[in-house]
Amino acid sequence: MPITKSAKKALRQNIRRRARNLVYKNKIKNLIKEVRLLISEKKSEEAKKLLPEIYKIMDKSAKVGVIKKNTASRKKSRIAKLVNKKS
């Protein structure tokens, strides 16, 4: 456990930031899982409707620093390729 005052504050900040970052990561993970499930069930139209939502959350999480910009681009590209290939 932290001893100094600054270390205690840093711990509090880390806990808050981690909670905020996990919200973004979980949203990304759940949306990608949902799209993959829809594609496996041959529901490509529903999957295409989820793409803008995925793009939005990826861009936002890259903007606030949860994931890097190129990681967001790579994930968006791969999910778009998957959706378009199956349609």
pLDDT 10s digits, 31-44: 999 999 999 998 88
Distance of CA 36 to the CA centre of its chain: 14
- pLDDT above 80 (res 64): yes
**pLDDT tens track for 5-32:** 999 999 999 999 999 999 999 999 999 9
Count of the separate structural domains present in the chain:
1
Domain harbouring 76, CATH code: 1.20.58.110
Residues 80 and 55 sit within 8 Å (Cβ to Cβ): no
What is the domain extent for residue 63? 5-85
Q: pTM of the full predicted structure?
A: 0.84
- pLDDT above 90 (res 87): no
